[in-house]
Amino acid sequence: MDGLIHQIVSGIASGGIYASVALALVMIYQATHHVNFAQGEMAMFSTYIALTLIQAGVPYWVAFIIVVPVSFLMGAVIQRVLMEPLAKAPVLASVGVFIGLLLVFNSIAGWIFTYTTKPFPTPFGEGKPLLNGFVSRHELGSTMITLVVLLSIWAFFRFTKLGLAMRAAAFNPVSSRLVGVPVDKMLALGWGLAAAIGAIAGMMVAPVVFLDPNMMAGVLLYAFAGALLGGITNPLGAVIGGFAVGIVENILGAYVVGTELKLSVALFIIVVVLVLKPAGLFGKTVVSRV
Amino acid sequence: MPTLLEVKALHGAYGESKVLHGLDFIVEEGGVTTLLGANGAGKTTTLRAISGMIKVSGEIIFAGERIDGLATEAVAKRGIAHVPDGRGTFMELTVEENLRLGSFLRNDKAGVASDMERVFDLFPKLKERLFQQAGTLSGGEQQMLAIGRALLLRPKLLLLDEPSFGLAPLIVRGIFETMGRIVRETKVSILVVEQNASLALAIADRAYLLETGRIVMSGAADDIRKDETLRRSYLGY
């Protein structure tokens, strides 16, 4: 029983990471109707920037506070320089850019930082597990950070004028311009936010999986599975899906299929969901009158 | 009355196909001007040209300043609210969020709140459905929402693209009556594009008739309505 509780707690911790990345995927998906396959690699790159700063003697939280806006800027610049000109291009052009970005970030990271796996520090201390040994300090700390991030993003989109304008710009750019919303800026903001969320997820997962240029490959797949499970058109659904995938992955990994097949489970979830409920558990099938 | 909008030698095209062939017309302050014409005459394109949604040549002068070549959001900022064809509803958002988006450019909270009340007064249905997803509204309600959203910009000029399109006659009459009220009770000027000439002439002060991208007739709405030969030959009613 204790083992099971421990697996669930770890599942929530990794689920939070998947939920964050799933949310980043959904944000880009709502604006572009494509899944940004490079989201994970962008996060990995941000994590390397953080490690470089920390190794240069910058305190962890200072590095954290530097990396988040830098990642935001990186996302916004990618939107302005690469995605903006492709706004009216065919679907495959955007997909091509996403795959291109994935490879570019991966190779540049490998070139600059080498492919050697590196440890990444946790800011929450290495001490004894807490709460009767059920949860490590890092699991508890990273879950807290993830929850704060998710809640802030939710509140931002739900309660602020800018958040509303960003949602509007993603759903209906033509009408948004007519009410005066600068749509291009909103899309760039969206990319920036997604990259910033990804960066935090990267820094939170790196102490667990260790940092190398392929660190986020698995995380992205789990996040993608979570987003599809919850519904890629529904941010809240994607977040719930991310947590669910984390818990299921941990329990199945520990008791049913073993760690070797954990990733296959994620892919299996994707396939099953797509077959049974293409819009996801909480997704809306958008019906439009013709 | 002073001129609010003046369009001179307006040419416009979608890519290679030219739609507008040199339009000249004016919209006076405080009144309703209507552009009539059949399907494909270029009515919608004219409104899109004013809002900077297509590339144009010629001059568009609004409140004394050139606005041709401005981005759509910049045109909105000058005080032109555009209710597009198809109504432009933000389907995924609630009615309340749709209306709030209309006030995106404004920072006067009290003014927005009082305009919101005014919209509810004009369209009580919207208040009943405030927290409903806008995509679930009927066509008529979506048209009301679109007009309400446009009014929340507190515009000087309201562009309306076929407000009667696809709606039952009774609903259309209600919407046109409300438009009449809006003109009487506020300082907004309206440029309305319509296929339904008799409806539009009933509330308009001035009318232009568009045929394949050219203006073929213009005059006071009353004169056109009374002139039977004109009406029969051009408007077909």
The position carrying tokens 């890629």 is A232
Residues with Cβ < 8 Å from B100, sequence gap 6 or more?
A161, A164, B152
* Cα–Cα distance, A109 to A42 (Å, whole number): 10
- One-letter amino acid for residue B18 of the chain: K
Q: Is A236 on the interface with B (CB under 8 A)?
A: no
pLDDT at A289 over 50: no
> Does residue A10 carry a pLDDT above 90?
no
- Does A137 contact chain B (CB < 8 Å)? no
The DSSP-derived string for chain B is --EEEEEEEEEEEETTEEEEEEEEEEEETTSEEEEE--TTSSHHHHHHHHTTSS-EEEEEEETTEE-TT--HHHHHHHTEEEE-TTTT--TTSBHHHHHHHHTTT---HHHHHHHHHHHHHH-HHHHHTTTSBGGGS-HHHHHHHHHHHHHTT--SEEEEE-TTTT--HHHHHHHHHHHHHHHHHS--EEEEEES-HHHHHHH-SEEEEEETTEEEEEEEHHHHHH-HHHIIIII--
Instruction: Give the C-alpha separation, A232 to A27, whole Å.
Output: 9
Task: Say yes or no for a CB contact (<8 Å) between A179 and B51.
Answer: no
A151: pLDDT strictly greater than 60: yes
Average pLDDT, integer, range A85-111: 88
Share of chain A above pLDDT 70, in %: 97
Instruction: Residue B91: list chain A partners with CB under 8 A.
Output: 171-172, 286, 288
Q: Between A126 and B93, whose confidence is greater?
A: B93
Q: Kindly state the DSSP code that residue A260 receives in the 8-state scheme.
A: G
Tens digit of each residue's pLDDT (9 = 90 or more) over B120-156: 999 999 999 999 999 999 999 999 999 999 999 999 9
Q: Of A216-220, B31-35, B230-234, which gets the smallest average pLDDT?
A: B230-234
Cβ-Cβ contacts under 8 Å, A177 against chain B: 53, 71-73, 76
Q: Determine if the pTM surpasses 0.90.
A: no
Neighbour tally for A256: CB within 10 Å: 11
User: Residue A290 — pLDDT band, cuts 50, 70, 90?
Assistant: very low
A92 touches B: beta carbon within 8 Å:
no
Give the one of B71, B82, B93 whose C-beta lies nearest to A168's C-beta. Answer: B93
- Please tell me which of the candidates B88, B92, B97 has its beta carbon nearest to residue A178: B88
* Least CB–CB distance from A179: residue in B53, B71, B76: B76
Tell me what pLDDT residue A92 has: 83
Q: What CATH number corresponds to the domain at position B116?
A: 3.40.50.300
* Percent of chain B predicted with pLDDT > 70: 98
Do the chains contact at B84 and A175, CB–CB below 8 Å?
Answer: yes
| B92 → closest Cβ in A171, A174, A176 | A171
- pLDDT, average across residues A54-74: 96
Predicted confidence at residue B237, as pLDDT, reads 67
Cβ neighbours for B41, distance < 8 A, ≥ 6 positions apart: B210, B211, B212, B213
> Is it the case that residue A5 has pLDDT exceeding 60?
yes
Contact B73 A164 (CB under 8 A): no
Average pLDDT on B197-208 reads 90
Average pLDDT for A240-248? 92
Least confident of A25-29, B47-51, B93-97, B157-161: A25-29
Cβ atoms within 10 A of the Cβ of B135, count?
17
Beta bridge partners of B82: B159
Which of A:164-223 have CB within 8 Å of B? Answer: 164-165, 167-168, 171-172, 174-183
Question: What's the domain range around B61?
Answer: 3-235
Report ipTM for this prediction: 0.93
CA–CA gap between residue A267 and residue A257 (Å, rounded): 14
Q: Report the 10 Å Cβ neighbour count for B70.
A: 18
Residue contact A180–B73, C-beta within 8 A: yes
**From the list B84, B97, B102, which residue is nearest A174 (CB)?**
B84
Torsion A43-A109-A217-A94 (CA) sign: positive
pLDDT (0 to 100) of residue B127: 95
Measured distance CA(A54)–CA(A63) in Å, rounded: 6
The three-point CA angle B57-B43-B226 to 5° equals: 125
CA distance B91 to chain A (A): 8
CATH topology assigned to domain A2-276: ABC transporter involved in vitamin B12 uptake, BtuC (1.10.3470)
Number of domains in chain B: 1
Query: Could you tell me which residues come within 8 angstroms of residue A67 by beta carbon, excluding any fewer than 6 positions away?
Result: A46, A47, A49, A50, A53, A199, A203
Closest CA–CA distance from residue B39 to any residue of chain A (Å): 18
For residue B67, pLDDT over 70 is answered with yes
Q: CA torsion B145→B180→B152→B99, rounded to 10°?
A: -10
Over range A99-105, report the average pLDDT: 93
The per-residue pLDDT for range A17-48, each reduced to its tens digit, is 999 999 999 998 887 778 889 999 999 999 99
Give the mean pLDDT of chain A: 89
How many A×B Cβ pairs under 8 Å? 66
Please indicate whether residue A126 or residue A211 has the higher confidence score (pLDDT): A211
